[in-house]
Amino acid sequence: MQRYYFDHNATTPVSREALEAMLPAFTEIYGNASSIHHFGQAARHLLDEARKQVADALGASAEEIVFTSGGTESDNLALLGGAAGGHLVTTAIEHPAVLQTAGRLAGWSCVPVGPSGVVDPDDVRKALKSDTALISVMHANNELGTIQPLAEIVKLGVPVHADGVQALGKIPVNVRELGVAMYSISGHKVGAPKGIGALYVRKGTKLKARQFGGRHERERRAGTENVAGAVALARAMQTHVDTEALRDRLEHAVLRDIPDAHVNAAGSPRIPNTTNIRFDGIDSDALLIALDLRGFAVSSGAACSSGAPEPSHVLLAIGLTREQARSSIRFSLGRGNTADQVDALVGALAESVTHLRKLSPAYV
């Protein structure tokens, strides 16, 4: 049986280009980048080059890039290190890496988001306090794909951190133009391996270290640098995958062929690879299993929240009922997907939904 992957927002396969770029750091240039001998300095050169390439891709300078283990660590460092002792404002549709970290701060406010899946900058403004130290708003939502108005939020005058994990590689990202103080990225969402990410920290931004044991990363993140991962991230960031036509093909066919299907946040600006579709009367877990048995990998929300007994907090936040949230599926396209695969997915969806609705007491 052939298998097709439509869950690129959870993770992506490592690209051939990234794999080839990182191999020398495992087999030839394997020194510790903090060592002063020949082997260490060779590794340091690779790391410096990767840092510059990542910075150039983001519109930043090399000294503003902190390499981390991924998006979760970058978000944690930004919030715990940038809002320590002050008030934080964030939104109800953030990734758990932001929301759960916010809950460990002394004070924070969570701004609601309506059916559009896009936060209103004026609601963010109303949540500000005299001691607000940081605003954290994701660039693109991981479940809906909705793009948030960062440039308008930056105008409020408070330092802004953006989780850019799902925006990177899908829409243009220039941190200077956005005006953000910090920006999180993750390698395994763009064709690099798991275990590498970065946090952009604008020069002059106050950031307290949250990890100790060395003077790495300009004393902002202790720990031996993942040189191979950094090289792979830098190479992967040079590739852009355009899937908008395939995403639109999928949505149009589903709405045409399957009754009572709805695209969540359809009218909002979205990254071009993501669609979140509700199938009335269907339990998303049952549909996930049915599709997997037919060879199609999709998801019902963030991979970090899989197995949770509660429906997606993002879908509840935009006003869906618990039943509607539980009947929604996220499809996220990427490199390797084709029109033929999309058409096959639509056929499998139509057959699976029809079968499951016959068994569902919730669908009349």
pLDDT of residue 241: 85
Residue with tokens 């330092």: 159
Both tokens assigned to 246: 């395939």
With a pLDDT cut of 70, the percent of the chain lying above it is 97
| Lowest mean per-residue pLDDT among 49-63, 215-229, 304-318, 334-348 | 304-318
Are the C-beta atoms of residues 89 and 111 closer than 8 Å to each other? yes
Are the C-beta atoms of residues 300 and 142 closer than 8 Å to each other? no
pLDDT tens profile 284-298: 999 999 999 999 999
Give the distance, in angstroms, between the CA of residue 61 and the centroid of all CA atoms in the same chain.
22
pLDDT tens profile 57-90: 999 999 999 999 999 999 999 999 999 889 999 9
| pLDDT of 302 above 60 | no
Burial class (CB in 10 A: 0-12, 13-18, 19+), 56: middle
pLDDT tens profile 6-27: 999 999 999 999 999 999 999 9
Question: Any residues with CB less than 8 A from the CB of 259 and at least 6 apart, and which?
Answer: none
- Domain range summary for the chain, segments of one domain joined by +: 4-12+241-359, 16-236
Give the distance, in angstroms, between the CA of residue 118 and the centroid of all CA atoms in the same chain.
16
Confidence band of 157 (pLDDT split at 50, 70, 90): very high
Rounded Cα–Cα distance for residues 333 and 338 (Å): 9
16-236 and 4-12+241-359 share a CATH fold: no
pLDDT average, residue stretch 209-228 = 89
Cα distance between the two ends of the chain: 33
pLDDT average, residue stretch 200-204 = 97
pLDDT of residue 259: 97
Rounded Cα–Cα distance for residues 100 and 96 (Å): 5
Query: Which amino acids are annotated catalytic?
Result: 304
Class of 16-236 per CATH?
alpha beta
pLDDT of residue 307: 52
Q: Which fold has domain 4-12+241-359?
A: Aspartate Aminotransferase, domain 1 (3.90.1150)
CB atoms within 10 A of CB 242: 11
Confidence band of 238 (pLDDT split at 50, 70, 90): very high
pLDDT tens profile 86-103: 999 999 999 999 999 999
Are the C-beta atoms of residues 149 and 176 closer than 8 Å to each other? no
